[in-house]
A and B are shown apart, each in its own frame.
Chain A
């Protein structure tokens, strides 16, 4: 089954304790992205990756890191989490396309609470 898998689905942690949210896709997609979804603000892009070893900032990258060492994996790292990073996080992937307008497949989300 084609899917984007995120882990963990839920996490409660404390300020300053480094954490990693993993994301894996089995569709051989070149493009991957991380979003956060907050009430009243909608989906906002954190980082994206056009392909292996190619990553770039989205709209709200502060406080986050990513890496793309393999095509299927795109982990999101919070080196020193703070309460304002409490949110619902989604990983997404899509095929690459000449016009860049391919629909994205989303994971089921990771709900992070930073105390």
Chain B
């Protein structure tokens, strides 16, 4: 069964304490893996797209990496403003056409304490 699993479900860090969030997937024909950030009361906000194993992308304190089975979102020296839920979504299929149909993970709720 195609699915996306994020771990941990929740993570609490002290400011400056680096860590990683995991997104593992079991789909055939990965066409793109997306990371989003969601703040309470807001819609998901796009962070990164990764297309193939070995690819990495960075933005400020965040770095996303991709292997054939999982993606990691590394957070270096986090600040309280990094507190949010981080969502992972996978687009798959050899002939998926142009539908942006995605499988979404349930997210990791990150809290960074000052």
Contacts and interface: CB of A to CB of B under 8 A. Distances in A.
Chain B associates with chain A: yes
Interface size on A, as a range, is 20 to 34
A30 to B, nearest CB: 9
Contact of A31 (B34, B96, B98): B98
B91 A101 contact: yes
B98 A50 contact: yes
Given A50-B98, A101-B51, A90 B43 contact: yes
Nearest to A90: B43
A104 interface: yes
Interface of B: 31-32, 34, 41-46, 49, 51, 87, 89, 91, 96-102, 104-107
20 contacts: A31-B100, A43-B44, A43-B102, A43-B104, A45-B102, A48-B101, A50-B98, A56-B99, A58-B101, A94-B100, A100-B97, A100-B99, A101-B91, A101-B100, A102-B100, A103-B46, A103-B49, A105-B46, A107-B43, A109-B43
